[in-house]
């Protein structure tokens, strides 16, 4: 396994639609997934999409361990234990409720910054893992936001493009001023 280089905002690979994976259980996909998981953990990320490591394929990995305490995640939004380390290949998202929720997001491709993003708070997602098994779950709150954030990368979208109020695009070092009441 290897730690992969993470593309930063502005790199063309982050602005394009990623290609479908023909065989989720192929050895090269399994190797990519192992490297992505190692890279995500090394970078202390909640998720990682293949385009973020310069591979334009529809592959994401994410996790939601309960001990995680990122700045900007309120007690009600703590990581959801229903999201163990997950591999999702060729994902499809279905919105279950049109009501939106907001929260502070960060991104390994936009280091040092956070932004307040609103989006659907209840989704269903489906795809395949790296062994070719179907993965199908519903998600709410932070779990839903992580899945949508990572899947947005597969369509060339970074979280600042989802922000409705750019005055809430801040440096992580200043987050304490915005999150003190949450």
For the segment 73-126, what is each residue's pLDDT rounded down to a tens digit?
455 444 454 578 999 999 999 999 989 999 999 999 999 999 999 999 999 999
Domain count, the chain: 1
Provide the residue range defining the domain that includes 110. 12-179
For residues 174 and 86, give the distance between their C-alpha atoms in angstroms, rounded to a whole number: 31
Tell me, what CATH number does 103's domain have?
Answer: 3.90.45.10
CA–CA dist 163, 177 (Å, integer): 19
155-180 average pLDDT score: 92
In a domain, 6, yes or no: no
CA 83 to chain centre: 12
**Mean pLDDT for all residues in the chain:** 90
Mean pLDDT for 165-181 is 86
Amino acid 79: pLDDT:
46
Residue 92 included in any domain:
yes
Residue 143 lies in a domain: yes
Query: Residue 64 falls within a domain, yes or no?
Result: yes
Flag whether 2 is in a domain: no
Mean pLDDT throughout 173-181?
78
pLDDT in the model for residue 77: 46
Q: Is residue 137 part of a domain?
A: yes
- Banded model confidence at residue 157, pLDDT cuts 50, 70, 90: very high
Q: Is 154 part of any domain?
A: yes
Confidence category of residue 180, pLDDT binned at 50, 70, 90? low
Report the pLDDT value the prediction gives residue 150, as an integer from 0 to 100. 98
The residues that are catalytic are 150
The single residue listed with the structure tokens 């200043």 is 174
More confident residue, 8 or 181: 8
Q: Find the angle CA(37)-CA(34)-CA(94) to the nearest 5 degrees.
A: 60
Q: What SS3 state is found at 113?
A: strand
Query: Is 70 a residue whose pLDDT tops 50?
Result: no
Give the C-alpha distances (Å, rounded to integers) separating 102 from 6, 78, 95, 118, 153.
26, 14, 15, 4, 19
pLDDT band per the 50, 70, 90 thresholds, residue 181? low
Tell me if 4 is assigned to some domain: no
Which residues 6+ apart lie within 8 Å of 148 measured at CB? 93, 119, 120, 123
Alpha carbons 77 and 26: distance in angstroms, whole number: 35
% the chain with pLDDT above 70: 87
Q: What pLDDT score was predicted for residue 66?
A: 54
Helix and strand element counts for the chain (H, E): 3, 8
């Amino acid at each position: 396994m290897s730690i992969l280089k993470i593309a930063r905002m502005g790199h063309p690979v982050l602005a394009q639609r990623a290609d479908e994976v023909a065989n989720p259980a192929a050895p090269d996909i399994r190797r990519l997934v192992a490297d992505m998981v190692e890279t995500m953990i090394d970078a202390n990320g909640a998720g990682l999409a293949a385009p973020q490591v310069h591979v334009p394929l529809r592959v994401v990995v994410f996790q939601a361990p309960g001990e995680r305490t990122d700045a900007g995640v309120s007690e009600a939004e703590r990581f959801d234990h229903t999201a163990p380390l997950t591999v999702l290949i060729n994902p499809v998202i279905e919105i279950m409720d049109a009501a939106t929720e907001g929260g502070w997001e960060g991104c390994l491709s936009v280091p040092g910054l956070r932004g307040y993003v609103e989006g659907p708070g209840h989704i269903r997602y489906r795809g395949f893992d790296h062994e070719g098994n179907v993965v199908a779950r519903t998600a709410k709150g932070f779990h839903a936001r992580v899945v949508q954030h990572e899947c947005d990368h597969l369509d060339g979208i970074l979280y600042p493009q989802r922000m409705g109020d750019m005055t809430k695009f801040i440096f992580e070092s200043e987050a304490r001023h915005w999150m003190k009441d949450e």
